Amino acid sequence: MWRPIRMRRPFSGDRERAATWLEGALAGYGFKVERSAGQVTGTARGMKSDKQKPIMAASRLDVYLERNELRIEAELGRARKTFIFATLFIVGLAGLFLLLQTFLWRDQSFGSILLLFSPWPVILLLLPHIDRKRAVAALRDLAEETAHAGGDASATPGPAPMTPSGARRLALGIVALVGAVGLFIAAMVTTLGGMTRDGRQVVVPGEHVLALDEPGTYTVFHDYRATVNGVHYESDRALEGLAVMLTGPGGGPVPLEPPGSHSRYSRGGRAGYSAYRFQADDAPGTYRLSAAYPPGEDGPETVLSVVHWPRPLRRLVPLWAAAALALLLAIPMLSTARTHRRWNPATVVEE
């Protein structure tokens, strides 16, 4: 995976001219350059990005300009450090979201949060192979440019033209990336639609019977702008003075707690936010939701909706999975499309 890259090509040009050009080129890339008789060495300074300049994946470059041959040896230490940093970052981010799910997002299913991270382990496994392919392509270009600077007539300067397979990879990568973005947007919109569509809306103050058919965590949303049975309701966002109570199938009170995460939505003529959550341990069964203002006080009618989160999320698993798959296809295709070129056959990569 991180083994050195070695390549060679015949060389019949001026070694001094080639070495002088190469010294300037490596310095321009940010390498610390040392030059000796027949050899130019570039050592990486710090940990710079290798995404725009794939040659920067190398931590050390040794270019040997011999009498009849040009040889390059590259160590991919910088790419290895980037991979380790990315791995630690993703692991730390996953740990942070796990803590948030444990203490703040308790009304969200663990599977739905885990699904957001599902592409990253695969992407991390692909990174070393992508970095190596891109580094090999960049070093091939460097070898040709160096030979051309030395006056070798067989050299083909400039990036080699892309092959039809590379063009197809580029086109498919763009299509996959656009598809992934579209699927992610569709998943988010559908999540919001499922949240508002699957909720049972009730007008309060008043008492209502809720037939809950699945145990689990339910969220009570305050729809401060909504239409129920053709009647439009709009009120202040805060539920000031309105006491909301819930009883279970046995008649005992069910605690209404603050939501683990504060979700807001505005879609069409409907807008609201999460106000409470409760645990329906006795479902399936009949629950009673009542809301009233204090005696002697009047307040506006408003709308509450009760949503069981896992239900809309379960239906979205295929959509999220398709979006993640499209992203997994797009990244390697776009990253390696330009490594498919019509190389000069004189430059040979030694595996």
- Asked whether residue 32 is assigned to any structural domain, the reply reads yes
- Asked whether residue 289 is assigned to any structural domain, the reply reads yes
Distance CA 178, CA 160 (A): 27
Same domain, 61 and 204: no
What is the residue whose two structure tokens read 């430059």? 347
Same domain, 208 and 66: no
- Percent of the chain surpassing pLDDT 70: 79
- Asked whether residue 202 is assigned to any structural domain, the reply reads yes
Burial of 295: CB neighbours in 10 Å, binned 0-12, 13-18, 19+: exposed
Same domain, 220 and 138: no
Task: State the residue range of the domain holding 26.
Answer: 5-84+100-159
Nearest by Cα to 18 from 148, 186, 108: 148
Looking at residue 253, which CATH number applies to its domain? 2.60.120
Q: How confident is the model at residue 287 (pLDDT cuts 50, 70, 90)?
A: very high
pLDDT mean over 233-260: 84
Distance CA 150, CA 148 (A): 5
- Percent of the chain surpassing pLDDT 90: 17
Question: Helix or strand or coil: residue 230?
Answer: coil
Q: How confident is the model at residue 101 (pLDDT cuts 50, 70, 90)?
A: low
pLDDT one-digit tens code per residue, 57-66: 788 999 999 9
- Asked whether residue 18 is assigned to any structural domain, the reply reads yes
Same domain, 120 and 248: no
Lowest mean pLDDT among 8-12, 61-65, 171-175: 171-175
Number of domains present in the structure of the chain: 2
The answer to whether 69 touches 57, Cβ cutoff 8 Å, is: no
The residues, any chain, with a CB within 8 Å of residue 89's CB and separated by 6 or more, are none
- Asked whether residue 144 is assigned to any structural domain, the reply reads yes
Nearest by Cα to 143 from 34, 337, 341, 8: 8
Which DSSP string do the residues of 234-251 spell out, in sequence order?
A: E--SS-TT-EEEEE-TTS
Same domain, 154 and 199: no
Q: What is the pLDDT of residue 47?
A: 47
- CA angle at 143 for the pair 138 and 146, rounded to the nearest 5°: 120
CA 34 to chain centre: 40
- Asked whether residue 340 is assigned to any structural domain, the reply reads no
Same domain, 78 and 15: yes
pLDDT one-digit tens code per residue, 109-158: 555 556 566 667 777 777 777 778 888 888 888 999 999 999 998 888 77
Same domain, 118 and 29: yes
- Asked whether residue 173 is assigned to any structural domain, the reply reads no
- Asked whether residue 262 is assigned to any structural domain, the reply reads yes
User: Which domain-ending residue is among 159, 183, 204?
Assistant: 159
Same domain, 62 and 154: yes
Same domain, 149 and 261: no
pTM for this model (two decimals): 0.56
Same domain, 199 and 155: no
Q: Is the pLDDT of residue 90 over 60?
A: yes
Q: Is the pLDDT of residue 70 over 90?
A: yes
Same domain, 135 and 65: yes
pLDDT one-digit tens code per residue, 192-209: 555 555 578 888 888 999
